[in-house]
Amino acid sequence: MDIRRAIDAAVVLRAMPEAARAALAEHASMRRYRDGEYLWRVGDPQDGLHVVAEGMVRIGIMGPDGDEIVLHVEPRGGCLGEPSIFSPEGDRRTDAQAVGQATIVSMTAENVRGVLEASPEAMRVFVRRVSEIARGHARRIALNAFHDARGRLARLLLDLADTHGISAERGRRIGLPLSQRTLAGLVGVRRESVNRLIAALERDGALDFDDGMVTILKERLLRLALGIEGGLS
């Protein structure tokens, strides 16, 4: 995939005017990352906006005890670094790590700001995206406050099925490879804990977990774990 096609395919950028996308592509660069290689680490300079052209990237923070909190994962077509474009703070607050081999298209913050300031329509698209990120973080805070680990895992899987679900013979398969480490980080528990939660949900017949791929078999059981009455029907 070349740079322009990656930008045109990006979930956020493809909603921008053609001229804005062309201007972003003009000064963009492309790089390939190995599995486990970091795009950036906490404390690195904020260097712009990035598009996942191929593969997947995990965004997280490493705790003092060595456990990782995964804030989100971005698959092909996702963007990284939006909040940093207009931030006065100059350093990264998260780690970004390739999951499998990944190809990333990068645009400098200066170039992105110039394109956005020249196009009100592109700016509206960008502001809407940053608002969505903020709302997502607020929702996660509420989820962590009001649900136990089983409920948080259920909510995560339901959300991923909504955004990345693929019809399968026995249910809906989440079209992203999700290791137990990544799931543990997203839920905010240790890997051993998420292993037990997944095993329990498999025994209940709620899902199937096979080689990093999750298939939701009985959505109502996941809704029941959240206390959603509609899951009982």
CATH superfamily of 3-143: Jelly Rolls (2.60.120.10)
Between strands 68-74 and 95-107, the pairing is: unpaired
Cβ burial of 77 (10 Å; 0-12, 13-18, 19+) is middle
Residue 135 has a CB neighbour count (10 Å cut-off) of 10
User: Please, where in the chain does CATH 2.60.120.10 lie?
Assistant: 3-143
pLDDT of the residue at 145: 78
Decide if pLDDT at 202 tops 60: yes
pLDDT of amino acid 228 = 58
- pLDDT of 67-102, one tens digit each? 778 888 899 999 999 988 998 877 888 999 999 899
CA 192, CA 56: separation in Å to the nearest integer?
24
Q: Give the predicted TM-score (pTM) of the model.
A: 0.78
Q: What is the pLDDT of residues 174-183, one digit of tens each?
A: 988 888 888 9
Which are the contacts of 77, defined by CB distance < 8 A and separation ≥ 6?
Answer: 9, 10, 11, 51, 52
pLDDT in the model for residue 229: 46
CA 71 vs CA 74, 79, 95, 168, 218: distances in Å: 10, 14, 10, 27, 26
Q: Just give the CATH number of 148-232.
A: 1.10.10.10
What is the reported pLDDT for 231? 39
Q: What is the pLDDT of residue 233?
A: 34
State whether the Cα torsion 165-124-9-107 is positive or negative: negative
Could you read off the pLDDT of 101-155 as tens digits, one per residue? 999 999 999 999 999 999 999 999 999 999 988 888 888 788 777 888 999 999 9
Range with lowest mean pLDDT among 45-54, 99-108, 149-158, 222-231: 222-231
Residue 77: left (phi > 0), alpha (psi -120 to 50), or beta?
left
Backbone angles phi, psi at 53, to 5 degrees: -80, -35
Q: For the chain, where do the domains classified as CATH 1.10.10.10 start and end?
A: 148-232
With a CB cutoff of 8 Å and minimum separation 6, the contacts of 211 are: none
pLDDT single digits (tens) 8-24: 999 889 999 999 999 99
Average pLDDT over the chain, rounded to an integer: 89
Q: Say what percent of the chain tops pLDDT 70.
A: 97
Number of alpha carbons in the 13 Å side-chain half-sphere of residue 27: 14
What pLDDT is attached to residue 69? 80
Provide mean pLDDT across the span 49-76: 87
